[in-house]
A and B are shown apart, each in its own frame.
Chain A
Amino acid sequence: MRYLPLTPADRTAMLAAVGAGTIDDLFADVPADALLSGPVEGLAPHASEMAVERHMARLAGKNLSAGAAPFFLGAGAYKHHIPASVDHLIQRGEFLTAYTPYQPEIAQGTLQVLFEFQTQVARLFGTDVANASMYDGSTACWEAIAMAGRVTRRKKAVLSGGLHPHYVGTAETMAKFTGDVIEARSPVLSAQPDDAEVIAAIDDQTGAVVVQYPDILGRIPDLAAIAEAAHAKGALLVVVVTEPVALGLIEAPGHLGADIVVGEGQSLGVGLNFGGPYLGLFGASEKFLRQMPGRLCGETVDAEGKRGFVLTLSTREQHIRREKATSNICTNAGLCALAFSIHMSLLGGEGLSQLAAVNHDRARQTAERLAQIPGVTVLNDAFVNEFTVVLPADAREAVRSLADKGVLGGVALGRLYPQDKALHAGLLVTATECTTDDDIETLALTLADVLKKGA
């Protein structure tokens, strides 16, 4: 078998060396009735690389990939062009097959990358510090709520209706078990985000105010006003960024008063991957450092005085604090952080701003074109690369019909909010640098056709 180096002769000799007659002598602690006598039901014997690849390719071939169709989906997962060098570099075995850098003398590569990554995230978010990454945006969002609770010693979190419903769901699940109080609201199909409602809901029990920026409908909340209101009541402002490319164009949340900024880093370097693995970004003000979850990499010197890097402040973490840890998280999204960092290094701050400007250009062209379709209106006054259109029909039906014609036309709000009928005419449309003029025209013509037939 191609992955197992021991030969039958090795096994015989090694069994003799350890004083065992058969391999099952080494499984002697397993109760006899628990030891399987035969193969697992239904699972075939080992297979060649070619055979397995063929099987997996057949499954993959049943999916319509984003690159094979005009593609307009977003809602927390974005298709961007990933430079070829990113995937080449992350597949170097020294990165791909390394472990968590617990032995810093032979892990300076990973550690320096994490230090650079932390700096990039902090500068992107406008926060003092950032950690070495979390599982994804949704879990980072819950960790931020929990952290704000530890800092303020308050149990209530006020969530904007513009927060991604999966992020809301994740927080609600966790809060059921921790006793935190989550005050969430549904979005409303309006040009303006719900800043006023959020501000009105903040009271002196509120520990965290959570706002997505841009929000789930692509709108842009006024963070400075919400930060002021939160701070006036002693609460922390948690800002959630699901599309980091947007920060090439709009102001960094940390510069507008956010105390904690979390996000989904999938847009840069990672790819769609059907939802995972993704990359949780986590930045915060330095004064809350000791309450941060997750791994942190810090600068130090070695025995000869040379600059080097180590994992640090691990007394916050589960392997030392056990049940008193700031989080039970035991990993970061190392390889995804590397991909993000490489992509960001290729772009630079100015490149990111240019990329965001092109994304906005594509989205603006898409919005203006869709607005020409009879009965279709664009909801947003402001957006970066994602906006909401209101259709004269159920958007889920329209999305299905578009897909049947080979167009992946957006995310129907009904998919995200099945219970909320008032949103079912909403279609969330995203355009990125990958979106061509032809894609836009195809979407517009096909959507017009679908709506006409539906009417």
Chain B
Amino acid sequence: MTRYFTKEHEWIQVDGDTATVGITDFAQESLGDITFVELPDAGRAVTAGEAVAVVESVKAASDVYAPVAGTIVEGNAALDAEPELVNTAAETDGWLFKLTLTDAAALGTLLDEAAYKAYIAEL
């Protein structure tokens, strides 16, 4: 399994042709207390860069983009009752959605962990 990152502060865990996507700890910290997560429906085909989820705090709503193209497998149903998982476990149980990759080659354009850490260090 390999973990990738984007400059939009998403992480992507790839397992075979399935990718699990969430927002990074850095992102949840800057968003503050998450109050609601709007998740995509299963079966929806998405293109890279398309807004597919929304993470809401009291005073802000932030789009989350599909880092790569694919078909949504599921959204994280646990977030309906416990949106705070995105705060407490952003990079584990607070994942947002899973998708089946349609263009695995595109993963090569994403950041690895070291590159992402270097990127946020400069922000």
Contact, chains A and B (beta carbon distance below 8 A): yes
Interface size for chain B: under 10, 10 to 19, 20 to 34, or 35 or more residues?
under 10
Count A-B pairs with CB separation below 8 Å. Answer: 18
Question: Which chain A residue has the least Cβ–Cβ distance from B63?
Answer: A324
Contact with A along B43-74 (1 / 0, CB 8 A): 00000000000001111110000000000000
Query: Is the CB of B36 closer than 8 A to any CB of chain A?
Result: yes
Contact A320 B60 (CB under 8 A): yes
Contact with B along A309-345 (1 / 0, CB 8 A): 0000111000011001000000000000000000000
CB contacts (< 8 Å) of A290 on chain B: these are: 36, 38
Contact B59 A314 (CB under 8 A): yes
Interchain nearest-CB distance for A305 vs B (Å): 18
Interface size for chain A: under 10, 10 to 19, 20 to 34, or 35 or more residues?
under 10
Secondary structure of the A side of the interface? helix
Contact A320 B38 (CB under 8 A): no
Contact with A along B16-43 (1 / 0, CB 8 A): 0000000000000000000110100000
Interchain nearest-CB distance for B67 vs A (Å): 21
Which of A315, A320, A324 neighbours the largest number of chain B CB atoms within 10 Å of its CB?
A315
Question: Which chain A residue has the least Cβ–Cβ distance from B54?
Answer: A315
CB contacts (< 8 Å) of B35 on chain A: these are: 315
Q: Choose one: B36, B57, B58, B61; the contact of A321 (CB below 8 Å).
A: B61
Interchain nearest-CB distance for B34 vs A (Å): 11
Q: Choose one: A313, A315, A324; the contact of B60 (CB below 8 Å).
A: A315
Query: A55 CA to B35 CA in the complex, in Å?
Result: 54
CB contacts (< 8 Å) of A321 on chain B: these are: 61
Contact A320 B36 (CB under 8 A): no
What 3 pairs across the A-B complex have the smallest Cβ distances? Answer: A315-B61, A315-B56, A320-B61
Q: Residues on B close to A: CB < 8 A?
A: 35-36, 38, 56-61
Besides A290-B38, A315-B61, 16 new A-B residue pairs in contact (Cβ under 8 A), listed by A number: A290-B36, A313-B36, A314-B58, A314-B59, A315-B35, A315-B36, A315-B56, A315-B57, A315-B58, A315-B59, A315-B60, A320-B59, A320-B60, A320-B61, A321-B61, A324-B61
